[in-house]
Chains A and B, each alone.
Chain A
């Protein structure tokens, strides 16, 4: 069911049918609940790495930057698009690397203290 929803939703045309708009809205609403649910039991010591990890995930706007730049027609658009790709890539790559570095500090505790 989800797969078919997504296929309908990604039919790219800007004048897409109402159903596609509705599918996008559905995905949006469900994602809101999922976002709340998935981190609801996080322990305080992981607040910073979690924020940093979430920060890395929204770097996926890189995909959007690549899409619009590939379809860009004027010089101005290409320049803006290139800048967007650079910024998004910094966010995506830097975000994941810095999160991993934070978590690296927690590993290799010989005692392997289960939970705080």
Chain B
């Protein structure tokens, strides 16, 4: 797994208050990156879903936030890391309505639909890393 870029901000996810904090931080960064209101709302909502997943299924973890700026595209990228049980069947986890907990099962698939970029790496017993990005 690649090291986090220099300009990234790393936030802890240990309680449901941290989930609220993450929404606020992502909002500030998304606005700074120049995302429109709808794009901001989408990435914040996706972050909220993934942060809650990290908390509920991964037993807590971190989120790293970086700017995306490659010429015409500007936005933000978020990386969620946990050292939880991992996901055995990623395809199944992405399907709407599938859940191992008591949620709606919309978190992963929903977050994917809200982003321009979505990547998931998971090893059973080691942990899960989910990377999302939204740009304009």
A and B form one complex: no
Identify the B interface with A (CB < 8 A): none
List residues of chain A with CB under 8 Å of any chain B CB. Answer: none
